[in-house]
Every structure is written in C-alpha cells, then in structure tokens.
Chain A
Amino acid sequence: MSTMTTPDLTANTAGIITPNPFWLASAPPTNSGAQIMRAFDAGWGGAVWKTLGQPIQNVSSRFGGLHHRSSRAIGFNNIELITDRPLDVNFREIAEVKRRYPKHGVIVSLMVETREEWREIIKRAIDAGADGLELNFGCPHGMCERGMGSAVGQEPALNERITSWAAEFSTVPVLVKLTPNVDDIVPNGLAAKAGGADGVSLINTIKSVIGVDIDRFVIEPRVGGSSTNGGYCGPAVKPIALHMVAALAREPAFGLPISGIGGIASWRDAVEFLLLGCDSVQVCTEVMLRGYRVVEDMIEGLREYMRAHSFARLSDMVGKAVPSFREWGELDMNFETVAKIDPATCIGCQACVVACNDGAHQCIHPAQGSRVPRVDESECVGCNLCQIVCPVPGCITMAPVDNGFAPASWNDFIAGEGLLRPKKGAH
C-alpha cells in the first residue's frame, strides 16, 4: 500500500484551471445553467457550454443509437444543431453559474460567421464570465451547410483565419475544436496553432448514417420520410479519437495543450487519453445515456489509478504513452508471442477454436478428452484473436517467446542491419 498523499487531480488546460480533468463536452448536457450547476454538484470539473451562435430551430427526431447484442448505444449519432435558446438567456445563465461556482471551469463554445459577429459574441461570453472559449469548427451536420462547423475545420486556411480573429478578440484561453472528418488531423491542428489558439479539443463527431429503417426504407434518425447524415460519437469512436489525439501529441511542430474527446465512458478511457497527451477530457454520450452521476466513478477511478502508479499530479502521467506510438517500420519484428490457455479458468466454449480456424491461422484445435483447446505453438502467430473472443477475462494470455533473435525492425532489415526470425503460419 502506497503511503503517498491523495493525488492532486487539478487540471490545467491551456491556462484553464479546473478541480479535475473531467469536463462535459458542448452538447445537450450543457444546454442550460440549471443543468451545468447540477453537473458541478455531481463532481464535474468543467463544462463546455452548448455552442452559442445565432439560435437555430431543431428537427424531430434528432438522435440515433448503434446497439450491439445487449449493449445499447455503443455508437450514437445526432442531427441536433447549436443552441436554440436566446443568447441573452444563455449569457445570463453563464454569469449565474460562474457566480455560484467560481472554481469550476465554464468554457463557452461559439460558432458564428463574420469577423464582427465573432468580436461581438466573444466579448459577451467573456463579460458573462467565461474561463475559456472553444471554437466549434467541427460540427459535421447542418451548420456546415451554412458555411460553419466542419466547413471551417476541414479547411486549414479558414481555420487559421477565424482562429486568429478569436485570438485577437479574446482575453481568455482559446481552444479550437477540431473535426475528425479530414484525412490527416495534423495540418488542421497546426492551422489552429498558427492562428494563435492556446489549445485544441478533439475529436468532434464523425459524419455518419447511424442506420436504416428496413421496413420504411428510410435512414435514421427518421424525420418524417427522410433524414440526413449526423455526427457519430460514443464508445465506438474512441479508437479514432485516440489516434487523432496521439497524432497531434507526437507531432514535434504542434505542442499545444489538448482536451481529449471521443467515446470516453469511464475513468479507464480517460486515463488512455491522458496518457496520450490530453490535459483534460470531455464527456458527452455517457452522460446522455447515464446521467451526470457517472463522474463519481471517473474521479475515484482516476485517483486510485494514480495512487497505484505513484502519480502525484496529472502532469506526471500526461503523455506517458506517446513515445510508444511508432511507425510500423520501427516495430520489433522479432518480438514473438504465443497464446496460452489457462485450463483452470477455461469454460470450454471453444470460441477460440472457431475464431482461430475461420478468422486467423488455424493453430487452436479441439483436444482429445477435454473441452480445453490445444494451441499449436509452432503455428501460432500471436495475433490476439483468441484472447479477444474469449469470454473469460485472463483465461488466454499472450506469452512472449524467447526465440534468440535480437530486436530488429523492418527498417533495420531494409537497411541491411537486422536479422529477422523465420515467418510463422505463412505456408
């Protein structure tokens, strides 16, 4: 048991100080002051106010869920737009929240068109007490048809220009929220930096069609007899978000603080984003599905994780996994693992047998007289598929093999400097 004092969860995201790194993302959970005050009472450290701009009118319905087996909404999409409430009401509520919760972070998300509109709305947000601004250059539905949202985020020059206006007008930190609907996130992050942003937040939602009503022949979420593409989010997008966050974090020319977003549903997810370089994380879908109360476990889980790893403060862990992200050509080709099945915990479902036989390299076989399968280690390529499909945690492990070969990458090999072990399963 560690004797260290309670880890400090205070987060500093481009100068925005919050009691913990858990923020609500700009979305329905941050639509009003009453909601955000309830969220702060539940423990959230910050909230990015639902995007302000010229108030819009929404359609019905607005959301769609991707369900898999018994899991509801492992993916989620929406065709809702920015705030539909009067700006005066929003700013009055921002002021009230900041008066009542001075130590919590209120970041105001903004989306307008012209330079004059940006100047006006930034002034009003700061006057109301915003601790920071988030420029919504990411929304992939509706607003982009009007020349805003992802229409800006997908165009680095436009991104840089508008960011530069905000940087000029703002006296508080400016975060640029980036869209993932690009082939490479790095130029877009660099554009925000060039425009003078203090940090970025990513990812916004991914352009998506969540499903099709197969009896009505209409895509979902259905608005009468038609629908449109929405923004995709939820646990299913986390791998895409982690990749984009890491791509910026490992870019030497970038170097700005990052607020991570995309499928964060637990403290474990949050830790992954922090390890890949985020100073704070933003959550939406999990709160929409389960409520503000989920933050209790997020805070506690993060604190216990930090205690277990002897991290005294967030900066001790932020970015710790970034150096592990390498190009494929730099990977050690001689690192070898094989699957080991623990007979004591194996339940004999033989899911691994089918998966290996049909989906991998035909090296796990039924055993005579036992339901516990047999791994042909001479053929096992160490692909992980059996471990992924096994329903018993810890039953299948991938054990390293000492094959006597010194580490060597493909790049080493091409350069004539490395000796590669013989291939397995390639006959």
Chain B
Amino acid sequence: MTKLPPTRSETVFADAKPPYGAAQALAEANRCFYCADAPCIQACPTEIDIPEFIRKISTDNLKGSARTIFASNIFGMSCARVCPVEVLCVGACVYNEMDAPPIQIGKLQRYATDRAFAEGWRFFEAGPDSGKSVALLGGGPASLAAAHELRRQGHACTIYEQSELLGGLSATGVAPYKMQADRALEEVEWVLGIGGIEVRTGVAIGRDLSLSELRERHDAVLIGIGLGPDRLLAAPGHELAGIRGAVAWIAEMKTKALDLRGIGRAAVIGGGNTAVDAVRELLGVGIGEVTLIYRGSEAEMSGYAHEWAAAKIAGARAAFRCQPIGFTGEAGQVRGVEVVSLDAERRPIAGGERVIAAELVLMAIGQSRLGALVDGVDGLTLAGGHVVVDAAGATGCPGVFAAGDCANGGKEVVNAVAEGRRAALAIDRYLRGGEAL
C-alpha cells in the first residue's frame, strides 16, 4: 500500500481530546452507572455494549473491554476518536439528566482500543471457506467493515478502490486533531489482518470495470464508494487558481506537505461539518485569517454546534447570511470572494455587496452525486444521487448491496461501519440462500 510521507501538513496538529492515562480511565470508568438497556447503546449506530466495555475497564479486564467494542464495531479505535459523541453516546448518557458531566465514552473507548493496537490483540478469525466471493467497491469504512464481517462468515472478498489508498474518508477526511492518516492506515491493516481480503487499488468502476462484469465474477457485490468530488460554485471568477473543493484540499493536507506560501487569508464557503472542519484546519496550519461564508444564520448551520464553538475559540471569523456571487483575482490567482448580504428570506439586499479577501477559497457545499455507475443495471435505482437500499442494505438488484455515504447521502464513519456490517450480514444470508452452506 502507498506510504504516507512522514511529515504532512496535518502533522502539526495535536489531539483535541488527549488520551486518558490509566488513573483517568479508571476514575471515569468507575463513574459509569452501568445502566440497563442503556441510552448510550441506543444512540450508537453500531450498538456497542458501552456499559459492559466500561465495566471491564474498571476491573482491569482491558482485553475483554476491547473485545466487547470490536465485536460490534471493527473500527472501534477510530470511532473512539472521530465519532461526534456529543450528539451520540455521550449526549445520551443519563448523567446529562442530572446535569452532571456525562461519561466520556469516546475517551474510554480510545483507552481500550489503543491498548489493543499497542498490544497487538486480535479477536476474530476468518470462518471456514464458503466457496463464495464478494466484490466490494470502494475501500472506505463501509467496505472494510463489510469485508471483515464477510471473512468471519468464510466468504472470499475483493476490494476495488479507485485511489491508491484504502481507508476512504477515515484516512483522508478526518480532522487531524481527531485522527491522522497514518493511524487510519494502521487500522486498515489491522482490519485486513483477518486475512483473505484481496485489495485492488487504482481500479475505477465505470472506467476500468463495469458493475455487470463484477456481478459475473463474484457472487455478490457491495457498493461502498462514498460520494463524488466536491461540488463547486460556478460563479464568475471560479476558474481562478486558489479556489478548491474542501474535501480535496483536506485530503491533500492530510497526505502531503502543502505549499501555503502567499496565503495569509482564506475563506470557506458552506455551513456544514466539512466547512467547520476546514476552518479549524486552515487556522491550524497557520493561516491567520479564516472566514466562514454561509447563506444562513449561525443557528441554521448544519455543522455540529460543539465543533463550531471550538472553531470560534481557535479564531474563526464568519460572514453569515452572505451569498458568494463571484471571485476577484489578480494574475489568475484568487484574491477574494464577492458576497452579497441576504435578508431573513435569503433574498439579496440591495447594496449589500462586499469582498472578503482570501488567497485560498475552499468550497464545502457538498459532494457530487453518483451517476454513470449504475446505468444499465436492472433494479438498481438512485434517488437524489444516492443508491436506494432497504433496511438491510439490499438494492433492487439481486446480489447487489450498498452501504455508507453512497447510500446514506453522507454521514459519519460510524454509520458507514454499521451499514457495512449490516449489509455483510444480509449478503451472508443471500449467499446461503436462507440455509447453511
């Protein structure tokens, strides 16, 4: 697999939530009420038995604790760091009901899973060979989690990934103050360690291989290809250098050492989590003035409030209720974003035009939808650019399943893992035809 350079732009970041030491983990684990039918489990897309893994930390049964986590979520190590726990498990903790600090579930999960990685503990083995093979399109968390589960059931797996790097957005999209790319790739190797997962990188579906060909070669197919490239605003001046898609820029920042000379100010267009991450990341790599430009009000942002609060503490600026209408430049290089102020109904206010200076502009207004991939496959349908699946992850085409961003429209790593595993179990049922092989 492709090696990352040791020094990347992302390596300047420190952990936003530093790991627990043994004394902290023990004190926090002992606070857990060990709830029955716990709200934290219900809030976890992968339904990790959280009270049980925390109890095992408190009794110094760390190996058992890690086993409990990974049994539900093979990406438990990265999810411990990247999950928006504030709105999932931690947000559901009953301590919130008594206005006391909730259990820091993510930090405890990191404590147990980091230890498992450090000690090289492995908990799962491939099942007896079923004679069936599954193609997994895309090398991100959905496909990897599915492949791991399919290997436990004894099915052969081949992952087809268009880039040279596995891990998907877990490797190239996670904010570096949560997890850096090398750690994500370490996790990919750890997941692949179950054995029997063939990896073919540099293979793009629709260019190098068709879905129909894959269906002929394999007994089932999982589509886990995520979303397409960043969408870009086609406003006047959009061809100027220095205007980038946020997802693409973040991937470069995480995998390369960027040349940031001449960039003193940056602007990020959008109000979602990618926009908020990009703002914090630009500030973190040393750009002094970073402005978020968003059409709506602060309260209307779809990015998590706790993340935006952290961005503001880091020095973020914001232009709310502003619509970009063009870009100014000099010698082919962007110099600013022309915006117009909007009223409460998001209508331009006459005379409300101004320019926000920026030598780098990132567009975080969403990723493009799927298109050509599914053309000509009976039963496979798209809605709003997403693959339509049932609750188990099955498409309308027999033997073809989908999971992760391409099916859910773009959620968290933990959702991709949950859907990937759920689809794998559905594939297993499909391959066994309802009976044991």
Smallest CB separation, B22 vs chain A (Å): 13
5 A-B pairs in the complex with CB atoms less than 8 angstroms apart: A69-B30, A347-B95, A347-B97, A350-B36, A371-B39
Interface residue? A366 (CB, 8 A): yes
Interface residues in A288-321 (C-beta closer than 8 Å to B): none
Contacts of A351 in B (CB 8 A): 33-36
Interface residues in A366-414 (C-beta closer than 8 Å to B): 366, 371, 391-392
Interface residue? A211 (CB, 8 A): no
Interface residues in B24-53 (C-beta closer than 8 Å to A): 26-27, 30-31, 33-39
Interface residue? A322 (CB, 8 A): no
Interface residues in A317-370 (C-beta closer than 8 Å to B): 345-351, 353-354, 366
> How distant is the Cα of A346 from the Cα of B97 in the complex, in angstroms?
8
- Type the 1/0 row for A163-207, where 1 means its CB is closer than 8 Å to any CB of B: 000000000000000000000000000000000000000000000
Smallest CB separation, B111 vs chain A (Å): 16
> How distant is the Cα of A349 from the Cα of B38 in the complex, in angstroms?
7
Q: Is the interface of A mostly helix, strand, loop or mixed?
A: loop
Give B contacts to A, CB under 8 Å: 26-27, 30-31, 33-39, 58, 94-95, 97-98
Contacts of A350 in B (CB 8 A): 35-37
> How distant is the Cα of A169 from the Cα of B37 in the complex, in angstroms?
68
10 closest cross-chain pairs (CB), A and B: A347-B97, A70-B30, A350-B36, A347-B94, A354-B36, A349-B35, A69-B30, A349-B33, A349-B94, A347-B98
User: Judging by beta carbons under 8 Å apart, are B36 and A349 in contact?
Assistant: yes
Smallest CB-CB separation from B95: which chain A residue?
A347
> How distant is the Cα of A69 from the Cα of B29 in the complex, in angstroms?
9
Contacts of A349 in B (CB 8 A): 33, 35-36, 38, 94
User: Judging by beta carbons under 8 Å apart, are A348 and B30 in contact?
Assistant: no
List 16 other contacts, CB 8 Å, given A345-B98, A350-B37: A69-B30, A70-B27, A70-B30, A346-B97, A348-B35, A348-B97, A349-B33, A350-B36, A351-B35, A351-B36, A353-B36, A354-B36, A371-B39, A371-B94, A391-B33, A392-B98
> How distant is the Cα of A353 from the Cα of B36 in the complex, in angstroms?
8
Smallest CB-CB separation from B28: which chain A residue?
A70
Contacts of A366 in B (CB 8 A): 37
Looking at A345, A347, A348, A392, the one whose CB has the most chain B CB atoms below 10 A away is A347
Smallest CB separation, B186 vs chain A (Å): 31
Contacts of A354 in B (CB 8 A): 36
Smallest CB separation, B105 vs chain A (Å): 15
> How distant is the Cα of A7 from the Cα of B27 in the complex, in angstroms?
40
Smallest CB-CB separation from B99: which chain A residue?
A347
User: Judging by beta carbons under 8 Å apart, are B31 and A70 in contact?
Assistant: yes
Smallest CB-CB separation from B35: which chain A residue?
A349
Contacts of B30 in A (CB 8 A): 69-70
Contacts of B98 in A (CB 8 A): 345, 347, 392
User: Judging by beta carbons under 8 Å apart, are B94 and A348 in contact?
Assistant: yes
> How distant is the Cα of A347 from the Cα of B38 in the complex, in angstroms?
11
> How distant is the Cα of A351 from the Cα of B97 in the complex, in angstroms?
15
Contacts of A348 in B (CB 8 A): 35, 39, 94, 97
Contacts of A371 in B (CB 8 A): 39, 94
Smallest CB separation, A200 vs chain B (Å): 39
> How distant is the Cα of A371 from the Cα of B42 in the complex, in angstroms?
12
> How distant is the Cα of A52 from the Cα of B36 in the complex, in angstroms?
54
Contacts of A392 in B (CB 8 A): 98
> How distant is the Cα of A210 from the Cα of B299 in the complex, in angstroms?
58
Smallest CB separation, B57 vs chain A (Å): 12
Contacts of A346 in B (CB 8 A): 97
> How distant is the Cα of A220 from the Cα of B36 in the complex, in angstroms?
35
Smallest CB-CB separation from B100: which chain A residue?
A347
Smallest CB-CB separation from A345: which chain B residue?
B98
> How distant is the Cα of A150 from the Cα of B97 in the complex, in angstroms?
51
Smallest CB-CB separation from B96: which chain A residue?
A347
Smallest CB-CB separation from A390: which chain B residue?
B33
Smallest CB separation, A214 vs chain B (Å): 11
> How distant is the Cα of A348 from the Cα of B35 in the complex, in angstroms?
8
Contacts of A347 in B (CB 8 A): 94-95, 97-98
Contacts of A353 in B (CB 8 A): 36-37
> How distant is the Cα of A371 from the Cα of B37 in the complex, in angstroms?
10
Contacts of B97 in A (CB 8 A): 346-348
> How distant is the Cα of A8 from the Cα of B124 in the complex, in angstroms?
70
Smallest CB separation, B108 vs chain A (Å): 14
> How distant is the Cα of A346 from the Cα of B39 in the complex, in angstroms?
14
Smallest CB-CB separation from A352: which chain B residue?
B36
Looking at B26, B36, B95, B98, the one whose CB has the most chain A CB atoms below 10 A away is B36
Smallest CB-CB separation from A392: which chain B residue?
B98
Smallest CB-CB separation from B37: which chain A residue?
A350
Smallest CB-CB separation from A373: which chain B residue?
B36
Smallest CB separation, B178 vs chain A (Å): 28
Looking at B26, B35, B58, B95, the one whose CB has the most chain A CB atoms below 10 A away is B35
Contacts of A345 in B (CB 8 A): 98
Smallest CB separation, B35 vs chain A (Å): 4
Contacts of B36 in A (CB 8 A): 349-351, 353-354
